[in-house]
Amino acid sequence: MVAEFVAPGPGHWQLDRSHFTGGTTPIMRWLLPEAVESAYREQWPLLGIPAETLSVAFVEGFMYTRLRPLIRADRPSAKAPPTVLLKVASRLHPEFRRRTRAASRTLEASPAPAVIEEWHASIRPDLVARNLALQDVDLGALDAPGLADHVDRVLAHLRSSFEEHFRLHGYDLGPIGLLLLAGAEWGLASAELLTALAGASPSTVEPREALARIRAAVA
């Protein structure tokens, strides 16, 4: 049986296999749409991204994304507007002008270093403390209402953490994009630069190294 694809809404939707190669679990389908849209809708005006947000939806368990434009997001036309019209709109529309000014500020003085400092000083310690507090709960001592309340707290923490993940994502994509642009000027292919970055973050490789130590200890 071949399922008929029904778009989850107006506009152009793209299958996203960068995060999930196949179907997804119900909890991911519950988490992602609100976390992604909320984080980017709040953050993109600050960075000067000329779009409203990124919409996420699931069809038959598969993830699709749609970039929501600043103009007529819920009433998209069947074809792209003329380039000259976009240029005029980007110079006259108030929100486009605000985004342009914000983008100039972002490029002139990257906000990423301050966010990295904030991550180490407060964001990460707070997340770790909240994770440990939830893990320390004695589930066996909870009655049914207490267990239900604990599950609600875990899900609320999970959702807020997901939103924070995507908020922070905006501060690594910009520097990576600048690196790729510089690499093109140096004659370096983007694929080569991205391969060089893989595994370079200590926080990314730390879980793998911890598992390796556990394997060595029990071998």
- Residue 25 within a domain: yes
User: Which of the 8 DSSP states describes residue 160?
Assistant: H
Q: Using the Cα atoms of residue 194, residue 200, residue 203 and residue 204 in order, give the sign of their dihedral.
A: positive
Nearest to 166 by CA among 76, 5, 39: 39
For residue 49, count other CB atoms closer than 10 A to its CB.
21
- Residue 92 within a domain: yes
Question: Which residues span the domain enclosing 104?
Answer: 7-108
- Residue 131 within a domain: no
- Residue 177 within a domain: no
- What pLDDT score was predicted for residue 19? 83
- Residue 54 within a domain: yes
- Residue 34 within a domain: yes
Q: How far is CA 47 from the centre of its chain?
A: 14
- Residue 173 within a domain: no
Question: Environment class of residue 171 by beta-carbon count within 10 Å: exposed (0-12), middle (13-18) or buried (19+)?
Answer: buried
The enclosing H or E element of 50 equals none
Q: Model-level pTM? A: 0.82
For residue 162, count other CB atoms closer than 10 A to its CB.
18
Give pLDDT tens digits for 89-100: 888 889 999 999
The total of structural domains in the chain comes to 1
**Residue 67, helix vs strand vs coil:** strand
Nearest to 191 by CA among 179, 202, 208: 179
- Residue 121 within a domain: no
Give pLDDT tens digits for 32-79: 999 999 999 999 999 999 999 999 999 988 999 999 998 888 887 777
